[in-house]
Amino acid sequence: MDASNILFAVENDCDLTILEELFDRNNTTVHRVGSGEEALATLHAMPFEIMLTDMVMPDMDAITLARRARRVSPGLTVFMYTDLPTRALRREISEAGIERIFDKPLSPNLVGYLLREARRASDRRNDMNSTSAKGM
């Protein structure tokens, strides 16, 4: 199985240090960035299956980042985490194409879920690439 790539867009690293160690053991490469603009630049540079972003970033919120990221990488699956998910926020998040909201603090159980989702996304991308190659 190919390695999966997950982009973490977070301002505060302590949320993800433990999770990164668990991902490393599961053939998953984690790229951590500290701002929305840095996340977008990274998405332009390489493919990712998943982006996990904090609601609050120094330069933009997760909703703005998700909308812009999906323009750069249309097949990207975006997840967000926050400590204050309100109903209005959930509706806006859904409209931005964010697949799911996770509550803080992040749990190690999240790793298994994200790994499964990353592999599904990778399989979809590989299927699309093989279909495109057959059409040439």
Question: For the segment 74-105, what is each residue's pLDDT rounded down to a tens digit?
Answer: 989 999 988 876 777 878 888 888 988 888 87
* pTM score, whole prediction: 0.82
Give whole-number Cα distances, 108 to 26, 44, 55, 79, 91, in Å: 13, 29, 19, 15, 26
What count of residues does the chain have?
A: 136
pLDDT of 136 strictly over 60: no
Q: How confident is the model at residue 124 (pLDDT cuts 50, 70, 90)?
A: confident
The pLDDT assigned to 40 comes to 98
- Per DSSP, the residues of 17-29 read HHHHHHHHTTTEE
Separation between Cα atoms, residue 100 and residue 1, nearest integer Å: 25
Task: Identify the domain containing residue 100 by its residue range.
Answer: 4-135
**Looking at residue 1, what is its pLDDT?**
38
How many structural domains are present in the chain? Answer: 1
Q: Which of 36-40, 49-53, 109-113 has the lowest mean pLDDT?
A: 109-113
CATH of the domain at 71: 3.40.50.2300
